[in-house]
Amino acid sequence: MKKILLYVLLTCLLIPNTKAQDDGAVAAAAVVGGLLAIGAGVAAVEAMKEQAELTATQWVLGNHPDMTSFSLKTLDFDGKKLKDMSNVSVITYKIQEFTPANKPELDGKKQVLFMFTSRGWINEYGIDFSKVRWHLIDAEEWMNMMIAYVKVASGESDVRAVEDQLKTGKIVNKGVKERGKLVIPFYQLKGDMYVVTDYSDFMKLLYNERSLGMFIKETGDLVQIGRDDIIEIHDFFYGED
């Protein structure tokens, strides 16, 4: 952004006549104002990211005192725009434990923390955490969720086969791929079609075109996780370190 501002100002200074300078100054002011507004939006999103990460860390400390050394990073805040944040319905955090040492390596248990949000979770004061629900899972629970999701999305009933292919492959738009080959194709549905499975006391899982849906029973909210986030979470648990 600093380079863009510098370019705009230099352009205005090099305009050869007074009228052009006046017009250029007005244009520069408009561009700079717009860039500053963009910067404010980026800063606001960054502030909310830090606030959410802090609260997620506090939640872990308050609910899992056994976790005494861990890393916590947001998975999907990057690239978000301020105007889009109120529509975000789930934020995910990658958590990994480690052994304390000088320059330690992340070598411990991996978990993912879901922060499910309800309508109105962002207001003029920032984040209203009374409208937030938390759900922590490990690799085993993620695999159980993905098995249930693949079964409902494809009609495949062999749990062992689905698990084996998920461990060596990945979920893409059309199904599960292994070594570039589609081994479990998903149903081809229209955008207004859903296939549902009652996964647990906490949620139902839904397959819709290109997304994993989670219906949170306590709040009645339906949230969606995009395919890219599914792949990133799966790689986090089962990809090569």
210 secondary structure, DSSP code: T
pLDDT the model gives residue 182: 93
pLDDT the model gives residue 5: 41
The type of residue at 159 is V
User: Count of residues for the chain?
Assistant: 241
Instruction: Answer yes or no: are the C-beta atoms of 221 and 118 closer than 8 Å.
Output: yes
Per-residue pLDDT of the chain (241 residues; tens, 9 = 90+): 444 443 433 344 334 444 444 444 444 444 444 434 445 556 766 777 787 788 899 999 999 999 999 999 988 654 344 444 445 578 899 999 999 999 999 999 999 999 888 877 777 776 787 888 999 999 999 999 999 999 999 999 999 999 999 988 888 888 999 888 999 999 988 878 999 999 999 999 999 876 788 999 988 888 888 778 888 899 899 876 5
Distance CA 166, CA 188 (A): 20
pLDDT the model gives residue 180: 86
pLDDT the model gives residue 210: 67
Residue 124: exposed, middle, or buried by beta-carbon count in 10 A (0-12, 13-18, 19+)?
exposed
pLDDT the model gives residue 34: 45
Give the 3-state secondary structure of residue 64.
Answer: coil
Q: H helices within the chain, ranges in order? A: 2-14, 18-63, 82-85, 139-154, 159-168, 227-238
Q: What is the 3-state secondary structure (H, E, C) of 67-135?
A: CCCEEEEECCCCCCCHHHHCCCCEEEEEEEECCCCCCCCCCCCEEEEEEEECCCCEECCEECHHHEEEE
pLDDT the model gives residue 111: 97
